[in-house]
Amino acid sequence: MQKNLSLKDSNIFIKLIFFIFSFYPITFLIGNLAINLASILIFIFLALGLITKKIEINFKDKILFLLIFLFICLLVNLYFSQNFNFSLPRVIKFLIIIGFVFAFRAILNNLNNQEINRLFKTWFFIFLVVLGDLIFEIMFGFNILGQKSIIPGRLTSFTGNEMVIGHFFFAFCLFVLSFIYKNYNQVFIKTFVPLLFVIISFLIGERSNFIKTFIIISLFVFFIYDINIKYKISFILISILFFTLFINLNPYYKTRYFNQIKVIFKDDGLNKYLRESKYGAHYKVAKEIFKNYPVFGVGIKNFRIESYNEKYKGILNSDDFKSPYNNWTGGTVHPHQIHYELLSETGLFGYLTFFLVIILSIYYSFRSFLLNKNLYQFSAILFVCISFLPFIPTGSFFSTYSAGLFWINYSIMVGYIGNEIKF
């Protein structure tokens, strides 16, 4: 699939796109402005490359068809949006996402494996800096820049008060693990690093991102590591044992990882937990919005408006819910769960369209992985799949930060699909 080219022989647009992709993880540590700027620059350089014919795209590409189909469906949803101006920027931004996906594909088509390895090597060193900063914060209570978490039991690293470093960790840990697995043959390193990553993710204190990180690392070790099955099972059991002991010894983590969610393990525990939490109130309001607008939803980014409508206040104190937040309208910027967000904002039309595109993308990507055994592609497949776990709280899928992390993984997932995969 990759041509026998080196970076020094490639054209200026490929070099620029490669450079931005190499340092793209840093933008998530800086903020949304940096993420958007990097994405726009990648789109511009891709467009200039296409105009000058320095970059070629196969316009019969199956993934291109899927993404254009999704874009058209988003335009249909835009027409039915309750607030057109709120939805328009996110729909237009999807064009940049399409360019982003195919810019990464252009890199793979124009550079050799050694050059691509340089990209992941850069990500490896960026991740090591973040990892070192997190360890520093665990030891001293603040990171190397002096930033300190405002919530006990949580780590913030370079993301400051945003406290989203757990999502960053979840999004990039498998790429780093793949790089280590491919480039370091020492058994101790290969076995110690996954356990270290799981422990650090746990200590970050973001429960949902820890659960997802633990799952993808466990799956990666189980399916990729060429070691005895007993050692793979031991890895999972040792991790669980460590977490159990640590939770019982540390009051902050015991509160976050046990006391606040222990009701789930009782009879009708999940429903009771949801009824007594703000997440449950968000989900309940999202379901009511979906019932009122089942086909097209209220429009992307419109939950933040519709959820504050007084008509949703009464449902939080209904006989089947009785939320402690009954004096609160349930309003918030998003439902904090991707399935509820898609259903309430895009309706069944958008929800089914989106998952049709994602499922087909995963299907083609997995078929490709079975042929080329590319670990980076497998890592991205795991991230994309686990991102859609139900019930577990998530950030807004349409936010700059969450969307950026998702689409970089999606780009790598579909980027390695070669011509050998047919419809």
Query: What per-residue confidence (pLDDT) applies to 189?
Result: 77
pLDDT digits (tens, 9 = 90+) for 26-68: 999 999 999 999 999 999 999 999 999 999 888 788 999 999 9
Which residues does 378 contact at the CB level (< 8 Å), separation at least 6?
178, 220, 223, 224, 369
C-alpha 247 chain-centroid distance? 26
pLDDT digits (tens, 9 = 90+) for 129-138: 999 999 999 9
The rounded distance, in Å, linking the Cα atoms of 290 and 345 is 8
Average pLDDT over every residue of 77-101: 93
Question: Which has more confidence, 63 or 231?
Answer: 63
Query: What per-residue confidence (pLDDT) applies to 421?
Result: 42
Q: Tokens representing 284?
A: 């309940």
The rounded distance, in Å, linking the Cα atoms of 102 and 99 is 5
Give the best-scoring range by mean pLDDT among 182-196, 245-259, 264-278.
182-196
Q: Within a domain: residue 291?
A: no
Q: Tokens representing 11?
A: 């054209």
Q: Within a domain: residue 271?
A: no
Question: Which has more confidence, 406 or 4?
Answer: 406
Asked if 346 and 286 touch (Cβ cutoff 8 Å), the reply is no
Asked if 189 and 147 touch (Cβ cutoff 8 Å), the reply is no
Collapsed DSSP state (helix, strand, coil) of residue 321: coil
Question: Which has more confidence, 92 or 58?
Answer: 92
Half-sphere exposure of 415 (CA within 13 A, CB side): 30
Asked whether residue 209 carries a pLDDT value surpassing 60, the answer given is yes
Asked whether residue 270 carries a pLDDT value surpassing 70, the answer given is no
Q: Tell me how far apart the terminal alpha carbons of the chain are, to the nearest angstrom.
A: 18
Query: What per-residue confidence (pLDDT) applies to 422?
Result: 41
Query: What per-residue confidence (pLDDT) applies to 324?
Result: 57
Asked whether residue 110 carries a pLDDT value surpassing 50, the answer given is yes
Its domain, for residue 95, covers 7-263+335-415
Q: Within a domain: residue 288?
A: no
pLDDT digits (tens, 9 = 90+) for 282-304: 888 888 999 999 999 999 999 88
pTM exceeding the 0.85 threshold for the entire prediction? yes
Q: How confident is the model at residue 265 (pLDDT cuts 50, 70, 90)?
A: low
Q: Tokens representing 129?
A: 């800096």
Query: What per-residue confidence (pLDDT) applies to 249?
Result: 73
Q: How confident is the model at residue 77 (pLDDT cuts 50, 70, 90)?
A: very high
Amino acid at 307: S
**Domains held by the chain: number:** 1
Q: Tokens representing 409?
A: 């993984």
Q: Within a domain: residue 284?
A: no
- Of 183-197, 224-238, 343-357, 373-387, which range is least confident? 224-238
Amino acid at 11: N
Longest dimension (CA), the chain: 69
Q: Within a domain: residue 294?
A: no
- Of 217-226, 328-337, 406-415, which range is least confident? 328-337
Report CA-CA distances (Å) from 342 to 89, 298, 310: 17, 10, 22
Asked whether residue 325 carries a pLDDT value surpassing 60, the answer given is no
Average pLDDT, the chain: 86
Q: Within a domain: residue 377?
A: yes
Q: Within a domain: residue 52?
A: yes
Question: Which has more confidence, 306 or 240?
Answer: 306
Q: Within a domain: residue 290?
A: no
